[in-house]
A and B are shown apart, each in its own frame.
Chain A
Amino acid sequence: MAKIVAVTGNEAVANALKQVNPDVCAAYPITPQTEMMQRFSSFVSDGKVKTEIILVESEHSSMSACVGASAAGGRVITATSSQGLALMYEILYIASGTRLPIVMPVVNRALSAPLNIHSDHSDSMGARDTGWIQLWSENAQEAYDNTIQAFRIAEHMDIRLPIMINLDGFIISHSIERLEYLDDDQVQSFVGEFKTLNPLLDLDRPVSYGPLILPDYYMEFRKAQDDVESKVSGVVLDVAKDFEKLSGRTYGLFETYRLDDAEIALIILNSAAGTSKDVVDEFRDKGIKAGLLKPRLYRPFPYKEVGEALKHLKAVCVLDRADAFGGSFGPVYMDIATSLYPYKEKPVLINKIFGLGGRDYLPEHAELVLNELVGLTKTGTVKSYKEYIGVRE
């Protein structure tokens, strides 16, 4: 395999999964994830991986099959988008509550209705409280790198939680980018051999999965799961350190871009962060202290670290590619607001909803928002805390 290649995001992630060579894959096709699993099933058919592929009749079934295979003691993957993730909803909680380290790339797509196949984040944002770890990726390289790191994070003996790797539908999944692959044996030694925890197929040590837990114990299991959440960010950082030694590419809980001495900043997930960084540079060239923060580990959310990184700013705008219907704000805004709440001195915080259903996010949108933030640092008067941008009025 060529080390530097031009590939789509779907192809990059499919190759990461091939290099890991998992035991079981149970998946159902859905746009824009289809190409990823089609490529992976070709690897199975061509004997490039030893994975057992299970063809299922729905995503509810694919996640159920993943739960069974993972409990049995296998390294298990699937992938989905949008309605597929929504159909998995019930089983997502079973996977996390049973502490099964299933790895699932999610190619982010809008939710119906109205029906739409293009990118936004409403699918994974709807699953943000399901107990799955979520990593978000700006481009194909990050999606590839995150996928490889995801196995180490999810399977860590202190964690044992399922994990989703998010990448933007079409914008990343179907666009061709330059990408650096690691060698197969590098990936193999990085992820290591799968270690089981109480596997169902160990006949010498029989175990039962999925018992009824009544009011006398249910809270203890929930508290134990909450405690695991607090350990995830440490493991994510350790795995990132090892990955950097291997690849030379640096990852953290989030990426900061020209943020340290900034006065205003944008907070934005995934592909739109790339566009925003260019505009931040333009503002810097004009002498305006602009910066950016791009979350990577979104669940569990590193509230403390994000709060520390943002508290010195004067004005911040959180750009959400999903709305959280409920009369309040976009999901990322609510997390950032929670991060900043403990501080006495904190930036003015506004929210923009953008790019829903694949609506283009253009440099002029970032400019508009940054100019508004500049105004806010002068006047301090907020016109509106939440607003849709790029929408026809």
Chain B
Amino acid sequence: MKLKNWKEVTPGAVITEAGSSAKFKTGSWRSSKPVWIEENCIQCLFCWIYCPDMAVKVKDGKRAEFDYDYCKGCGICALECPGKKGNKAIIMVEEEK
């Protein structure tokens, strides 16, 4: 995206475009990333409810892959995940690995 010059910015830094925060991809803030293990998933969708962003995607009522463009790696989904028979369906992995 081409950065605006000082004559092009809005007075007082007011944002006049609704929903423009979607353009600000915050996934690079992440130091550890959640990994979804489908065979342990019971489709409770707790991860979708608890995600403070919108980084857990749901398709046709079913859990889909993470949206890593916005996931900041907070780990709430992994903490809340009940898993199946004691095995978590979401685990946190260090980003560099």
Contacts and interface: CB of A to CB of B under 8 A. Distances in A.
A364 interface: no
A198 interface: yes
A222 to B, nearest CB: 8
B14 A217 contact: no
B22 interface: no
A205 B12 CA distance: 17
B7 A224 contact: yes
Contacts, number: 51
Looking at chain B's contact residues, is the secondary structure mostly helix, strand, loop, or mixed?
loop
A98 B12 contact: yes
A392 interface: no
B16 A99 contact: no
Contacts of A99: 11-12
A391 interface: no
Interface stretch (A132-140, A208-216, A344-352, A366-374): A208-216
Interface string B1-33: 001111101111111101000000000000000
* Residue of B3, B5, B10 with most chain A CB atoms under a 10 A cut-off: B10
Given A220-B6, A227-B6, A207 B11 contact: no
Interface in A198-251: 198, 205-211, 213, 216-217, 219-221, 223-224, 227-228
Contacts of A211: 13, 15
A207 to B, nearest CB: 5
A100 interface: yes
A160 interface: yes
A160 B12 CA distance: 9
A209 B11 contact: no
30 contacts: A97-B12, A97-B13, A98-B13, A98-B14, A99-B12, A100-B12, A197-B11, A198-B10, A198-B11, A198-B12, A198-B16, A207-B15, A207-B16, A207-B18, A208-B15, A209-B14, A209-B15, A210-B13, A211-B13, A213-B13, A217-B3, A220-B9, A221-B6, A221-B13, A223-B6, A224-B6, A224-B7, A224-B9, A227-B6, A228-B11
Interface of A: 97-100, 160, 197-198, 205-211, 213, 216-217, 219-221, 223-224, 227-228
